[in-house]
Amino acid sequence: MTGFPAVLLLLSPLLLLFEPSSSLPLCTDLRAPTISKTQLAFCPYNGSVCCDSSKDLQLKNDFQAMNISDSSCAAILKLILCAICDPFSAELFNVESGQRQVPILCNSTDSSSSSHSSKQLQQSFCATVWNTCKNVSILNSPFAPSLQGKSGSSISFNSSTLMEVWNSETAFCDVFGGSSMDDSACFDGEPVSFNKTETLTPPKGLCLEKIDDEGFINMVAHPDGSNRAFFSSLPGKIWLATVPEQDSGEKLGLDESDPFVDLTDQVFFETVFGMMGMAFHPNFAKNGRFFASYNCDQLKSPGCAGRCGCNSDVNCDPSKLNTSSSYQPCQYQSVVAEFSANGTASDPSLAKNAKPLEVRRIFTIGLPFTNDHGGQILFGPADGYLYFMMGDGGGRGDPYNFAQNKKSVLGKILRLDVDNMPTEKDIDQLGLWGNYSVPRDNPFSEDKELEPEIWAMGFRNPWRCSFDAQRPSYFVCADVGQDKYEEVDVVTKGGNYGWRIYEGPILSDPRQLSSLENSSTSSPDLIFPVSGYSHSDVNKKLGSAAISGGFFYRSGTDPCMYGSYLYGDLYASNIWAAAENPKNSGNFTTTGIPFSCAPDSPLPCSSVPNSTLPALGYIYSFGEDNRKDIFILASNGVYRAVRPSRCNYTCSKEVVKPASNPSSAPSSPLSGCRSAMHRGEWLLFLPFLLLVLRCLYSQLA
């Protein structure tokens, strides 16, 4: 039993490693704030805001209807009402827990705990509100208990004071107050700001090991939370593999001769065509449902039939498309189909194989050209909906402007409900592209011009998107550029990311922007990249560049990489790390990251003897397992990020086993356990506890 105090001591650094959750600039409707073209007349906000002039006028009318006689209280209530215009209002109003009528009022007197304001608070803002307004009559008070989920009060709230309703400051601030000590925002009477500057130290480098020689294009962690993951190839096979422990020296446990499912008969594979994505239902361990996104050829597959993305609805005539004589418009299709692992094992989570029989066709669209068709699919971790990344359909410069056309699903990110299937009548009446329902909170509910499936628009060719495992509101997509720039976008509800008007931050179609600005309708509110690189930043000898999106690094394996968003370039094999600075701000600082291969890699990383530079080839994609370790899926194999010290990179946060002298002390019965701990496995918390128990049992048995 003497080993357990040491266990508890080792657990304490874990609490320091995982940073608190935080949010990017988002409005209460989960849209990104927009740049106000004119300063708001009533609310003290300008620049990037969550209110337009109409909302500003509504807030003014609501304020005047309160008929507050006390000027000091009136001034505070105005600020509180206007907080909904703050670009961080989603955080202030804690929309993930349900809509509030007022923001979370700062209830801490410790100014050092808040990164949102430099004002030295003599008392908490919540206390200030109470002391200023407690005896002031407020018509239609926003502080009514019924508006905060309370019940059982018989007081009429048409006109009331805070004292009548809440009796004391403690009772009032228990409901309306909150602290910023956990890095979440609270309202202190001023717009949210970030005055705490940070000096970021970029990671010294990324240490990799090679664990497989196969060139996979997709990786998805098994939904059951185990150490297994699915890997897929462009021709259409999916494998189920066991991911080895860090520092085990083992290769990926995968039998290429025995795929989980073989869909090559359905998939058209040729250069830019193939199986582009796969997604496993969040409840796959029980229902066995999984989905594949692939291309098919109408001339070769009778089941490959769908509506053309170029049609009269989007002012496009397929017969007039400029195509080669060997290619017919919409000959090739993008398909999302559902499959099942049911019936192949007693429990879907135990299934090692699935049948290649399509359960239902979720989505089919004919491609007007042969490039830029995206194809990734993934489930949102917070909402459970299926996100489908669609490119602009191809053609240089998006000649039919599909990405900006609200009636086209090309150049968009789509959000579909695959748990509630429509009837054939619904499909016909709504003009759906397959068997899915439309989530009611999709942006079309607020913008009637949008097709209902659209979640965000203005993309050229989104290639690999991911949700931050720690902060689901951070939905990040890499968008492949054309001639000049590769971009990384934080995608929000209803956001317009600029293509073809802009390529990243570079104006690419001045004529279109000019015509929009001169038209009677307002120009679109475009959202620009948070990171990226110009083509001149990569190896010019390659003659091209194409971004491969990655993940926020959330593993404990490399603490110095923790919190950075990692991504790379398909051709150049460059890798970048984008770190948010300051925290919670939505502003990112990007650094090119050197990488090398661990000398003890299970497989040689390079064909050149004694070389420490991995010969990645093309970077197809990045992957993440259930331990949150990051993988690079390249044409030359599968590479995993490992402890920086294995490549002699210095990371002061890494826990490294000190060198020991075998003759200086007798071997401890727990030495094997300590070795495992020093390898970093303790950072995984639950696996660490299981490891300790296993080691203790083996030594004491």
Rounded to 10 deg, the angle between the 686-700 and 4-17 helix axes is: 160
Query: What pLDDT shows up at residue 611?
Result: 63
Over residues 284-337, the pLDDT tens digits come to 999 999 999 999 999 999 889 899 999 999 999 988 886 666 678 899 999 999
Lowest mean pLDDT among 83-87, 151-155, 647-651: 151-155
CA pseudo-torsion sign 365, 366, 369, 375: positive
Query: What pLDDT shows up at residue 121?
Result: 42
Lowest mean pLDDT among 397-401, 568-572, 683-687: 683-687
Token pair for 22: 């935080």
Query: What pLDDT shows up at residue 159?
Result: 63
pLDDT band at 421 (very low <50, low <70, confident <90, very high): very high
Mean pLDDT of 56-84: 96
pLDDT at 18 over 80: no
pLDDT band at 610 (very low <50, low <70, confident <90, very high): low
Query: What pLDDT shows up at residue 160?
Result: 80
Query: What pLDDT shows up at residue 151?
Result: 35
Number of neighbours of residue 16 by Cβ within 10 angstroms = 9
More confident residue, 678 or 214: 214
Over residues 266-286, the pLDDT tens digits come to 999 998 999 999 999 999 999
521 to 32, 403, 525, 613: CA distances (angstroms): 20, 18, 12, 54
Query: What pLDDT shows up at residue 195?
Result: 56
Token pair for 477: 């997509």
What H or E segment, with its residue span, contains residue 78? helix 71-82
Query: What pLDDT shows up at residue 494?
Result: 96
Question: DSSP state, 366?
Answer: E
Read off φ and ψ for residue 242, nearest 5 degrees: -95, 125
pLDDT at 667 over 50: no
User: ω before 674 within 30° of 0 (cis)?
Assistant: no
Over residues 489-500, the pLDDT tens digits come to 999 999 999 999
Over residues 230-251, the pLDDT tens digits come to 999 999 999 999 999 999 999 9
pLDDT at 696 over 50: no
End-to-end CA distance of the chain: 14
Query: What pLDDT shows up at residue 517?
Result: 53
Token pair for 62: 């609501």
Mean pLDDT of 452-465: 98
Mean pLDDT of 166-183: 83
More confident residue, 101 or 389: 389
CA pseudo-torsion sign 134, 140, 146, 147: negative
pLDDT at 205 over 80: yes
Query: What pLDDT shows up at residue 623?
Result: 98
Over residues 363-386, the pLDDT tens digits come to 999 999 999 999 999 999 999 999
Query: What pLDDT shows up at residue 511?
Result: 72
Query: What pLDDT shows up at residue 158?
Result: 58
pLDDT at 19 over 70: no
User: CB–CB of 26/90 below 8 Å?
Assistant: yes
Token pair for 265: 């008969």
pLDDT at 154 over 50: no
Query: What pLDDT shows up at residue 95?
Result: 85
338: which strand partners? 291, 360
Over residues 26-39, the pLDDT tens digits come to 999 999 998 877 88
**Can you tell me the distance from the alpha carbon of 112 to that of 120, in angstroms, rounded to the nearest whole number?**
9
Could you give the percent of the chain with pLDDT greater than 90? 67
Over residues 543-591, the pLDDT tens digits come to 679 999 999 999 999 999 999 999 999 998 899 999 998 777 788 999 9
What's the predicted TM-score (pTM) here?
0.85
pLDDT band at 701 (very low <50, low <70, confident <90, very high): very low
User: CB–CB of 529/489 below 8 Å?
Assistant: yes
Mean pLDDT of 514-537: 73
Question: DSSP state, 603?
Answer: B
Of residues 215, 210, 212, 131, the one with CA closest to residue 166: 131
DSSP codes of every residue in 450-484:
S-TTEEEE--S-EEEEEE-SS-TT-EEEEE--SSS
pLDDT band at 252 (very low <50, low <70, confident <90, very high): very high
Q: State the average pLDDT for the chain.
A: 84
Query: What pLDDT shows up at residue 180?
Result: 58
